[in-house]
Structure 1
Amino acid sequence: MQLKRVVVTGLGALTPLGNDVQSYWDNLAAGVSGAAPITRFDTEHFKTKFACEVKNFDVHQYMDRKESKRMDIFTQYAMAVATQAVADANLQVGQNCNADRVGVIWGSGIGGITTFEEEVEGFAKGSGVPRFNPFFIPKMIVDICSGHISIKYGFRGPNYVTVSACASSTNALIDAFTYIRLGRADVIVTGGSEAAITRSGIGGFNAMKALSERNDSPQTASRPFDKNRDGFVMGEGGACLILEELEHAKARGAKIYAEIIGGGITADAHHLTAPHPEGLGARNVMLDALRDAQIEPEAVDYLNVHGTSTPLGDEQEIKAVLKVFEQHAYKMNISSTKSMTGHLLGAAGSVEALACLMAIEKGIIPPTINHETIDETIDPALNLTLNKAQNRQVEVAMSNTFGFGGHNACVIMKKYRG
């Protein structure tokens, strides 16, 4: 069968760098860090006392107080970015789209951890009589985001959430792309959201020794590829992309940001949390995405790496990049925007795909900030876009995301040429 072409027609963002697409991009391109001391809870007894929090978020811009109380914050974030993106795409059920042909495929790795923490703590402090909020379960479950979005707009197409740790929202994006190119939907609202800056979230990752403990300098703590990196910085928020079949988008006069051309999904099959020592899964997922897109490695201008600022992860990903791209690895731009946003866990893929789309549209590569000391295991001849954005016309961009459990996902997009 002839596969249909898939384009992006709407965007929404809520990040540690800004609460809409433009402010997110402006700060990303300027090399601004979103890290600061945690405000959500008392960190006195925690090893890590900082994170990349969303700032000045007013949920009541998007819903009334009663509705907001029925949602965990990760769902509030999802509703905010979906509202932005649907408005940006000018989707109107019954006027320019068929509700039965519009779906929602979302991604989140953890879901309603704030709700779970609060409810269990309340029970533990109580008399032993189970008095739980009747919305406890619907607030906590990971799939609830796609349900709420579909209910708000009446979208009756494919509807679910992907859960693959930090690869979750890239998996959602690839699934949305696949449904549309197979002709199973005209439009899919896709993306991801996460809100895990909680006592259990920070404490759990501290126990794994995964987080940076650079408490004296939060803004410089996320430092991918730097010799002195000591772990990732937790982020939160989300992003939404409206994916649409090309002819459907053209017929309704939609603005087209870029075209999605390929995706790859693989497993390391190696370790619960550590990457494969030779970057095997990462290598395979990039090759899988290139094959799916039917392009050669030399076509890629910009690679937004997973680049979490962990000692092992950064090194193994670069090994994989060199195996896939060989000499072309030295000709393209590479950067890790987690140096600015922190690691949004299950939502990382959505905000980083958005960074790639904006790089294509603006001709600017966002930087990898906070690099001070060369790591001998990472070739300094690579263009890691260190500390300052670079101007470059981007025809094709690739985004990598990898998750605990050995989950790998990679998506490729290109400039729309008609």
Structure 2
Amino acid sequence: MLDLAEELSTWIEAGREFAVATVVAVGGSAPRGPGAALAVDRAGTVVGSVSGGCVEGAVYDLCRTALETGESVTERFGYSDEDAFAVGLTCGGTIDVLITPVGGQAPDRTVLASALSAAGRGEPAALARVARGPAELLGRTLLVRDDGTYEGGLGGHAELDRTAAAEARARLEAGSTGTVDLSADGSHCPGGLTLLVESHLPPPRMIVFGAVDFASALARAGKFLGYHVTVCDARPVFATRARFPDADEVVVDWPHRYLRRTATDARTVLCVLTHDAKFDVPLLKTALGMPVAFVGAMGSRRTHEDRNRRLREEGVSERELARLRSPIGLDLGARTPEETALSIVAEIVAARRGGTGVPLTGSNTPIHRDREHSEAAA
């Protein structure tokens, strides 16, 4: 539900009561992953989606019922269900959905408000909710921050809360969303329980080096995909806010110098569009030694070969060179800056999600890859 932070924070501030349905787990071919959410308020207003349209009607009704009963429930929808066609999930997969009422007197409303507010401010946070277990614990909530502190609880059991907080923090550090099974504890939760842990991290960074027309189109595409986009170039006449209105930052600096001093992590994407050896060789030498998600460079195949020769002369190893995606982008036959930007972000998505980049027509690869496969690829 953290993907609806902006809308739901507004609802809570306005005192609106609502129920939120969140995907807990998926199996087979399912359109959306764990954490996807749909919310319905007392007036019937809907935000979000749990299935891309497949089971929205049935989930809507469950949310309205939860608002009346005040009780959380977990429901499974799938192709094997006898009413699968009635609710529309005919893609061959299953989804488990947790429906939680957030009424005015809901015990976890304050915790949810804090979680939504933190997500809205871009702060790291993990929201852990009981998705399977004793009825009295279902939907109970724990907010865990990146420093290990937490707010809320899972029923008044301090040891259970500490265990859940540690598991949620581990998920947060990995930047992943999914379920965590806690083993049975006779005094706290007979039979054990399952937590849905939603991790929220600040948007990943895309740093585009080279203030060229392709960079402007790439900045727009990067923002569309949810990246925090920075454009960097050493030439102040080209690196201007007017030329890159979609970028979050426009930096005038030597690319390699900026990369050495700016913050990056394992989700950061680096796109080198400079086309100039005096810029891209020292930049790529730095980039290929960093634990970032993606390093790509634009240029012809001849430019690529010359660049690799220069990098080897600078001491870059073959293992490091193997990380370089050059020429950057998938083969779409792109010609315009916008088409080229599309080919670049398509390769970034494929690298992140473990895709092949081949057409789905005639292919036997899964359309909806499971989250574990995607995280392993990333």
Structure possessing the higher relative contact order (Cα contacts under 8 Å, 6 or more residues apart): 1
Instruction: Report which of the two has the higher share of strand.
Output: 2
What is the TM-score when the length of structure 1 is the normalising length?
A: 0.27
Q: Which has the larger radius of gyration?
A: 2
TM-score normalised by the chain length of structure 2:
0.29
